Structure 1
Amino acid sequence: MQSALVYVNTLMLQDVLDEPEWADLLTPADRRGLTPLFWSHVRPYGEVNLDMGARLNIAAVTVPGPRAPADTDAEQPAGRP
């Protein structure tokens, strides 16, 4: 549950930080102070209003692929072709 909350919070932060007006307002110190570990918007025992007609923009998130070795010759042990 905590991992899912951090993931959704990260997506929300990315959406806000993607807006140009926020890019101009935040200083480097402000950006260092951001964390996805907030939960003030969570109501564990209260009313939850879900908008089932709206979806999170998860398609914008890119997952890096596997890393390719920079130089395969450098990784060969000495004496082997």
Structure 2
Amino acid sequence: VAAIDLKTHSVTSPGEWLECDLVATSGGYSPVVHLASHLGGKPTWREDILGFVPGEAPQKRVCVGGINGVYGLGDSLA
């Protein structure tokens, strides 16, 4: 349960850690780079898909599929 401080507009929570091997997101044909950006990477614009893709990040991560502008299943699996 989070508490909202109306004076500072901040949300406080005790937090929770979840162990996982995979986080999947979906955003249609627009790459969803938000989680990748939280790892410290700056999104990079790609003119060919008219969208942002994850840029370099200081933390290790693997991004596959639509987040990289690759929409075909076979191409994503490759």
Work out which structure has the larger RCO, using CA pairs closer than 8 Å and 6 or more positions apart in sequence: 1
Instruction: Flag whether TM exceeds 0.5 (same fold).
Output: no
Q: Which has the larger radius of gyration?
A: 1
- Identify the TM-score tier after normalising by the shorter chain: under 0.3
Please give the TM-score of this superposition, normalised by the length of structure 1: 0.22
Q: Report the TM-score when normalising by structure 2.
A: 0.22
Higher strand share: 2
